[in-house]
Structure 1
């Protein structure tokens, strides 16, 4: 700790933060700048004879400005105009990973990486992933047999095939540990394991839906418990208030004194008794 203090410069204005500061252009998102941009858009729309009111309303914010008009805007206003969304087949980077709006086949890229890694390590050279189960193509209807694939059945079949291939591999190794059939059998096992992995990945949308349903059910359950707790607390409050009203029923209205066991108490003692009863009621509600 002392070494760290010695390394830091002696500057009172130096501030250390666990989280980075937000980008500076967030200060441009103000009500005044939005009003300025809307005014510029309105002027641009009024200057276009071919633009009618229905088209103007239906277009997104700042979408009716041309590229030249956007570049001519001040810097603080250009930040308020969001960029155009990428096309389905257009690549963009997310944390240095190339992605597409319609999604990327990450599984096939992983299989290619595994094949290259095995080739580099001279382990199972020549292995490539081969899909052993049917999959619907882009023109297949959802009601077809290919779209309604029985994934569970294929998972069971792959599991049985892997067990049989493993038993066969043990027999090959027992006879000849350096046999070429050993590598072929290992490639078959790796291919079937990869196919099982691909089938399991196709359950991820179902898993996401079920997780969301479970989360929402938990929220509903928690809200119901909170409502029931509020109702019980309200019932306790009503009971305490009723008891408090009964205990103070002996107050003599308009006299400023309380008659208790034929003894007239002054107003100060009566107020103290009322406050004590109120604190006891609060203890009953809130608990120890």
Structure 2
């Protein structure tokens, strides 16, 4: 007895719902809703020009107030983009807190080092009450200030010599009295100096990025020049082959007129020149 297949209603629903439908707000981007939004903007612009001339709203892009947005239909509100966050306002992207101008990773590194050196909850660790201190002047924030106004190389050499001296002093303290309280002070000095060097080196990152980009562009230019030279050499070889094919009939005629010379096979010469031409074309095409 033939068996009927089970109804496929449930399976079809599961297959059709495997990929969820996109959010329905995209359906509201219609010409009618766009026209309503333009009318609301025109009304807001008219009120702005008639009431407040000192407002920061641009006349060609009037911003709607909260009351005006709430007065719009729900489907039109989807067409109004949210305001961008402020420069100092934090927001989350892929579960990472960031800012518009970027996050200062150095502060997070310093905080992480502080928590690794001393745990305030258990009151245990290697160094207690250590805080980062910037030992070099901060560059001027004004746009007219030059990046080279601060001699970073000189400060790096100073910090390096100070690190070596502090390390030698730390070795002397440990050799004399390993339980001395001065060793913690020297460890704090070494850590502060190293982090200051780290901060100064990080300020060379834009310069490193520019130099890396320049190097990549120079490599591309050299590669393009090599390709052009290869094309020129191949073109010269093809030109010589064509010249040889053009002179082949003349050689055959001169050989036929010469009585003492051996009669050459003109057809063989022509075929040989054609073979050379095909070989040159294969080299051009990379076969």
**Could you tell me the TM-score, scaled by structure 2's length?**
0.65
Paired residues, number: 240
Any conservation in 2 of the 1:93–1:99 contact (CA below 8 Å)? yes
Any conservation in 2 of the 1:248–1:274 contact (CA below 8 Å)? no
Q: Summarize deviations over 1:31-53 as a string: whole Å, max 9, x none.
A: xx99x6699369826982658xx
Q: 1:191 aligned to 2:192?
A: yes
Aligned-partner Cα distance in 1 for 2:273–2:148: 75
1:136 to 135, 139, 157: 139
Any conservation in 2 of the 1:172–1:181 contact (CA below 8 Å)? yes
Q: 1:247 to 1:70 in 2, by over 3 A?
A: farther
1:92 corresponding residue in structure 2: 91
Any conservation in 2 of the 1:236–1:285 contact (CA below 8 Å)? no
Deviation of 1:159 (Å): 0.7
The residue correspondences of 1:67-82 to structure 2 (distance < 5 A) are 72=75
Please, what is the CA RMSD of the aligned residues? 4.5
Structure 1 residue matching 2:130: 3-state secondary structure: coil
2:129 to 113, 126, 129: 126
Aligned-partner Cα distance in 2 for 1:154–1:83: 46
Q: Summarize deviations over 1:81-115 as a string: whole Å, max 9, x none.
A: 87654321221223422111122221012101110
Aligned-partner Cα distance in 2 for 1:47–1:122: 61
1:48 to 18, 42, 48: 42
1:215 corresponding residue in structure 2: 216
Any conservation in 2 of the 1:140–1:147 contact (CA below 8 Å)? no
Any conservation in 1 of the 2:91–2:97 contact (CA below 8 Å)? yes
Aligned-partner Cα distance in 1 for 2:32–2:223: 44
Aligned-partner Cα distance in 2 for 1:138–1:281: 63
Unaligned residue ranges in structure 2 (runs of 5+): 1-18, 47-57, 254-261
Unaligned residue ranges in structure 1 (runs of 5+): 1-20, 253-259
Q: 1:137 to 1:248 in 2, by over 3 A?
A: same
Q: Summarize deviations over 1:143-196 as a string: whole Å, max 9, x none.
A: 6xx971111111111111111111111111111111111111111111100101
Aligned-partner Cα distance in 2 for 1:47–1:181: 70
Q: Compare CA radii of gyration and give the structure with the larger one.
A: 2
Any conservation in 2 of the 1:135–1:147 contact (CA below 8 Å)? no
The residue correspondences of 1:157-196 to structure 2 (distance < 5 A) are 157-196=158-197
1:152 corresponding residue in structure 2: 153
Aligned-partner Cα distance in 2 for 1:137–1:273: 76
2:258 corresponding residue in structure 1: none
Deviation of 1:245 (Å): 2.2
Q: 1:126 to 1:134 in 2, by over 3 A?
A: same
2:257 corresponding residue in structure 1: none
Aligned-partner Cα distance in 1 for 2:32–2:270: 64
Any conservation in 1 of the 2:34–2:76 contact (CA below 8 Å)? no
Any conservation in 1 of the 2:245–2:274 contact (CA below 8 Å)? no
Aligned-partner Cα distance in 2 for 1:72–1:38: 10
